[in-house]
Amino acid sequence: MRPSTDINEPGVRPNWRVIVSLLPYLTEFRGRVILAFVCLTAAKVANVLVPLSLKYIVDYLDETPEALVAIPIALLLGYGLLRFSATFFGELRDAVFARVAERAMRRVSLRVFEHLHRLDLNFHLSRRTGGLARDIERGTSGISFLLRFMVFNIIPTLLEIGMVAVILFIAFSPGFVVTVIAAVLVYIAFSVLVTEWRTRFVREANTMDNRSNTRAIDSLLNFETVKYFGNERFEADRYDRNLEAWEAARMKNRLSLAALNSGQALIIAAAVTVLMIMAASQVVSGDMSLGDLVMINAYMIQLFIPLNFLGFVYREIRESLINIERLFGLLEQPAKVQDAPDATDLRCDKPRVEFDQVRFGYNPDREVLHGVSFAIEPGEKVAVVGASGAGKSTLGRLLFRFYDVTGGRVTIDGQDVRDLTQESLRAAIGVVPQDTVLFNDTIHYNIAYGRPDAGTDEVRKAARLAQLDDFIHRLPDGFDTMVGERGLKVSGGEKQRIAIARMLLKDPPILIFDEATSSLDSASEQAILEALNRVAAKRTTLVIAHRLSTVMDADRIVVLDDGRVVESGRHGALLAADGAYATLWARQQQERQEQTVGDEE
């Protein structure tokens, strides 16, 4: 999918080849598809025979009104059986095919979900969650509609038109067939042309729907910020403006639909009227029986009802194609970070991590890291410090392979991370991020997410190591306490401890602490640091820190400045060197003293 093209923009035509891409989903249940087609054919044959049986009933009663028992009852029973068969086989067809359509929706939804998780971090940082959710929802619904209605409404209607045309050609003069075919062609041409014209309104309505939904979700996710600034009315007004645009687009859609329906009704009424005039004149002249007139009328009603529905189906198919193309567009979004064809699994116990002349930029015209080099020996804890924007967190993202380096390489035991499978690489790394986001579930679930197959005792042990015991025991529901959307029901420090417990449960050989104690108070921070030090003692650990007091005991401290390594060494040696690290240390000590004085006042 080309990022510059919005599929909802006017002039962008849906790709009919999308239909071909859905065909493989029919092959999973070949038997059901074949049986559904058999039921479809049986239903349409029975449906076409209904007017024919009605003709014989009318003719018999018209010619021999004194016959009241044997033959009329048999004909009427046959007429009733045909009507029942048409409905029964139609319902049976839908029931048989339901599994095919639902399974296709399931398969595509899962495929999109898995692909979205394979996309790079930059995609997810720039996405609009509300619009994305709408695209997936409408796309999967469109798949179900296409599979069911295109296969079992368009094809059956065309089959029925063909059978009726054959019967009219055999039983009556060619004028009837010509009139029916001409009406059908005019109807189809009108439906296609007007539907193409009104597609722009469908696109506009979809765009406005995405925009309003994105606005609503973004506002609700930032509920606290809205409250902090008292901007409830501002948010409501912005949302209402989006809804106003959506309302206007929907009105255009409705009015154009009314025009389409009215035109289709006019064509149907004109065709039926012409045919009935032709049939009535031949009945008067004696060339046709009363039963023939009834049969033609029944065929016209029976033919144009599904044809009218075919117009609806075509409109919905065009809309479904738009929705499905957006869904498939997500599948075409390339994953910038992919496993190499010959990627191998990472196998390590006490790994050595090295950044070798690493260069990287989030944008091609702005490089963040400029030839960064340092190593973390097995079991060693190395801290990376520096001012905001120095590139500290970027190192963790490159090691975890959220992004690939643009120069140099990152290695584990001499293996370039780009030559390893992402699954094995990330399984070996545990991360405690600065901004912890929790699932809207229980505390137990969020801790167990580090290793979903872990037992209850293991989860409780991880919580104990993360200093969560007292907090959880004070809660009425304990481990079953819900943390709310994005963990908003617990404090920042509690979220951080849950994240640490989750990482401890994963028990990986490589650890990344990205400002892991930034949300904790001094007492909690000290307790957590002791727990982390015990865990990190046997692991290769990268600590990304802003507060230098939390990394004083690191085996080595690497100082970054504007994406370059300017100093490296232990805490005492760096202070003695009186360089960049000493300057940072002095500045933070002064800030702490000023804060202490302010608190006392």
pLDDT at 6: 42
Sign of CA dihedral 304, 309, 312, 318: negative
**Predicted confidence band at 2 (pLDDT cuts at 50, 70, 90)?**
very low
**431: enclosing H helix or E strand:** strand 429-432
**Predicted confidence band at 82 (pLDDT cuts at 50, 70, 90)?**
confident
pLDDT at 58: 75
Chain centre to alpha carbon of residue 527: 41
Catalogue the E-assigned strands of 9-159: none
pLDDT 10s digits, 250-297: 888 888 888 888 888 888 888 888 888 888 888 787 777 777 778 877
**Predicted confidence band at 398 (pLDDT cuts at 50, 70, 90)?**
very high
C-alpha distances out from residue 210 to 15, 137, 245, Å: 21, 11, 11
User: Which DSSP string do the residues of 490-528 spell out, in sequence order?
Assistant: S-HHHHHHHHHHHHHHH--SEEEEESTTTTS-HHHHHHH
**Predicted confidence band at 12 (pLDDT cuts at 50, 70, 90)?**
very low
Of residues 486 and 484, which shows the higher confidence score? Answer: 484
Report whether pLDDT(162) > 70. Answer: yes
**Predicted confidence band at 3 (pLDDT cuts at 50, 70, 90)?**
very low
Give the rounded percent of residues in the chain with a pLDDT score beyond 90: 10
pLDDT at 7: 39
Lowest mean pLDDT of 361-375, 402-416, 431-445, name the range: 431-445
**Predicted confidence band at 412 (pLDDT cuts at 50, 70, 90)?**
very high
| 542 DSSP β-pair partners | 382, 512
Give the rounded percent of residues in the chain with a pLDDT score beyond 70: 84
Of residues 423 and 171, which shows the higher confidence score? Answer: 423
Q: What is the DSSP letter of 17?
A: T
The alpha-helical segments, DSSP class H, found in 369-439 are 392-400, 422-427
SS3 358: strand
Q: What is the DSSP letter of 352?
A: -
**Does residue 401 come out as left (phi exceeding 0), alpha (psi in the -120 to 50 range) or beta?**
left
Report whether pLDDT(198) > 80. Answer: no
| 514 DSSP β-pair partners | 544
Q: What is the DSSP letter of 413?
A: T
**Predicted confidence band at 517 (pLDDT cuts at 50, 70, 90)?**
low
| pTM of full prediction above 0.85 | no
pLDDT 10s digits, 232-262: 888 888 888 888 888 888 888 888 888 888 8
Residue 363 identity: N
pLDDT at 9: 43
Sign of CA dihedral 242, 248, 251, 256: negative
Report whether pLDDT(400) > 80. Answer: yes
Please provide the average confidence, as pLDDT, over all residues in the chain. 79
pLDDT 10s digits, 423-481: 899 889 888 887 777 888 888 988 998 888 888 899 998 888 887 888 888 888 888 88
SS3 363: strand
Task: Give the N- to C-terminal CA distance of the chain in Å, as an integer.
Answer: 59
Q: Which residue has the tokens 């050989």?
A: 509
Q: Which domains does the chain have, with CATH numbers?
A: 18-332 (1.20.1560.10), 353-600 (3.40.50.300)
pLDDT 10s digits, 559-580: 998 889 999 999 999 999 988 8
Report whether pLDDT(113) > 60. Answer: yes
